[in-house]
Chains A and B, each alone.
Chain A
């Protein structure tokens, strides 16, 4: 498959009065053309910071990309100037955010907001641009788009606004769509509508998608590959089926066991004890160690990334080639 984005050893820090927050440390992954990948992890693990870094939207100060490269189209986005970035943002790579109401302009009609990008980037006259806006709203499944373009964002429901956001993000047929928790604020039936829409657009327009969420279920139905983040690092990544069938990192395993399965008989939930670490003073070794039931002496040193079959990679001493254990058998014992 043709690679369109490659993030290499990305590091992002925030300089706050309390100290330096290491929001993202050493994150690497690639995205193929037309692919949907998922990034999962809990609050504060660095999902949004990673995506803002790709868009070069890290607020500075206090934030700063302190290392790594983001290669898109042979160019390193980290070193591009603002003018070059503007021709990429929205045009080539675009993003939809968790909360559509803050990202839409409340005093402009939905139609004008959509038409703006055509007028700006493609220099279309207003009338033509508005026609294109109607087409886009139809594409994202908004009924009666000719009337809807005259409405303001607050006159629409949450699901409808998220559709408008998706329409805006897709206006210029970007090659990459980053969706940062696009349905967290929405109900399940509306979430299913939006996910269906993203999948449809991915197939029809072959837009590559990075889907960010804390919901392991949403990712399972959408993505071909999944990255699991913990405390600013990718701790495990694998093709979706492989990751869910044979998780290798104790954190991934714990997460999968702490969500009940609606399609299975009731089983006791196992919870992960403790709290996620403070990124102001992250542990020098494995960040999951204090919560890990398999922690060993060596875990005080940072684990290296081990890549196994099927491109299944994991940062954990348990899967290190020198390790005497195999997570598969350990996890079975942990089950009892």
Chain B
């Protein structure tokens, strides 16, 4: 595969959960803990995992919305968090864009669509006047909207159209890397495929690199080159999409994938489900050692003692589990 664009090394992000009388933190939400992975240029890395496992936190830290508690994130070899606090902050910010889950909440209701899409052009001083207008029209066309839509307000659009506006806005500054944080979760089933197809077209046209976060495991497999699985702040497995779905190794990944509903009664009747018992523990007080051990059928004494390291085996398949040698 080609060059590494984004390199995440030993990233941890803690949020303060409670403070004492003096305002000093007394407990933390360990949203992301010691996560390392790379995103290659031109690929789509999918991130899956259940609510609260830290997917959005990883995405937001990569684009610089959060500062890492520990570890580093770099883009094409340059440390992101040093860059966005240095003289070339704008250059780095321009490279990294984000599309959000809720197309309703992420667009300013008092701005016209033209202003929303044109705003990043103004901030980054890319174009002005007539040029800016034609660039905005061009962007709207690229995402399947009409130039006439530029003078309308977000509430006049459907969910799928609003998501297109968000995509046009992210594309405006010619980014290299886009974090798509649940871009289709709020959309109707029949509209989801429209947006996914658009993201794929834009990727092949501009060589974009995506981090694609979603609940829908089937859609993640469809769009991703490689897929990373997170559990309670930790990365448990990462491999090429087909390899991961056909040959999952981590007990959590196995359970997760076996729970995906398949839209075919014949296939449903044949499959063997692994039903996990219990709930996901709290990230404020996570289990020692391997975080999945409290729900794992194969947990051993060792699993409570130390956290398994990520080990890369055949087919570039990386797993963090004491069972897997």
Does B51 interact with chain A (Cβ within 8 Å)? yes
Which of B189, B194, B219 has the most chain A CB within a 10 Å cutoff? B189
Q: A157-B279, A192-B273, A258-B190 given as contacts; is B222 within 8 A of A269 (CB)?
A: yes
Subset of 10 A-B contacts with CB under 8 Å:
A158-B51, A214-B189, A217-B261, A220-B265, A254-B190, A260-B221, A263-B262, A269-B222, A271-B192, A271-B193
Query: What separation, in Å, do the CA atoms of A244 and B263 have in the docked complex?
Result: 8
User: A interface vs B, CB < 8 Å?
Assistant: 42-43, 143, 157-160, 187-193, 196, 214-218, 220-221, 240-241, 244-245, 254-256, 258-263, 265-266, 268-273, 275-276
Does B305 interact with chain A (Cβ within 8 Å)? no
Query: What separation, in Å, do the CA atoms of A244 and B265 have in the docked complex?
Result: 7
8 A Cβ contacts from B208-232 to A: 215, 217-219, 221-222
Contacts of A244 in B (CB 8 A): 263-266
Contact of B260 with A188 in the complex, beta carbons under 8 Å = yes
Query: What separation, in Å, do the CA atoms of A5 and B47 have in the docked complex?
Result: 44
Contacts of B268 in A (CB 8 A): 217, 220-221
Contacts of A270 in B (CB 8 A): 193
B258, closest chain A residue (CB):
A192
Which of B261, B267, B276 has the most chain A CB within a 10 Å cutoff? B261
Minimum CB–CB distance for B144 against chain A, Å: 10
Contact of A262 with B273 in the complex, beta carbons under 8 Å = no
Contacts of B194 in A (CB 8 A): 271-273
Q: A221-B262, A269-B197 given as contacts; is B189 within 8 A of A255 (CB)?
A: yes
User: B interface vs A, CB < 8 Å?
Assistant: 50-51, 158, 160, 188-194, 196-197, 215, 217-219, 221-222, 241-242, 245, 255-269, 271, 273, 275-280
Q: A159-B279, A269-B222, A271-B197 given as contacts; is B190 within 8 A of A262 (CB)?
A: no
Contacts of A214 in B (CB 8 A): 188-189
Q: How many A-B residue pairs have CB under 8 A?
A: 133
Contact of B263 with A261 in the complex, beta carbons under 8 Å = yes
Query: What separation, in Å, do the CA atoms of A259 and B192 have in the docked complex?
Result: 9
B48, closest chain A residue (CB):
A188
Q: Which of A190, A218, A262, A265 contacts B218 (CB 8 A)?
A: A262
Contacts of B242 in A (CB 8 A): 265-266
Contact of B217 with A262 in the complex, beta carbons under 8 Å = yes
Query: What separation, in Å, do the CA atoms of A134 and B60 have in the docked complex?
Result: 43
